[in-house]
Amino acid sequence: MSHSEPPVLQQHRANVVFGLGLSSLIINVMGCCTNQLVPFALTVLAVVLGILGWTFGRHDLRSMREGSMDASGYSTTKSGKTLAVVSVILALVALVVQMLIIFGVIAAFGLFGAAGA
């Protein structure tokens, strides 16, 4: 009678993925909706954290579906990945809006300078 060893599964990173996604979203909201002196830096930080959460979540969900990772954190990992994706999309939209505002201010100063000459 042979006993087969149960497969050793990788530990899931559900809490890490969820933390990255949630942190990214919170930082994104702080950068967009508050009067920060450096909203650009917060947006970049939100994108970096969001991409990390998105990447870790995608990898972990794939490993869970393949059976090589403990699937007990599936729903938390999926939620964290979703938060990260939403945060990255919002951060990129905010980044575009911030760039348009900067270009608008530069153009306004250029028009005022040309009118005063």
pLDDT in tens, 39-98: 678 888 889 999 999 999 999 999 999 999 999 999 999 999 999 999 999 988 877 887
pLDDT single digits (tens) 5-45: 777 888 989 999 999 999 999 998 887 766 555 667 888 88
Do the domain assignments include residue 2? no
How many Å separate Cα 30 from the centre of its chain? 14
Task: Sort residue 5 into left (φ over 0), alpha (ψ -120 to 50) or beta.
Answer: beta
Do the domain assignments include residue 4? no
Q: What confidence score (pLDDT) does residue 24 get?
A: 94
pTM assigned to the model? 0.79
How many Å separate Cα 76 from the centre of its chain? 15
- Rounded to whole angstroms, how far apart are CA atoms 34 and 37? 9
- Looking at every residue in the chain, the average pLDDT score rounds to 86
Number of residues in the chain: 117
What range defines the domain where residue 25 resides? 14-116
**What's the structural domain count of the chain?**
1
pLDDT single digits (tens) 19-29: 999 999 999 88
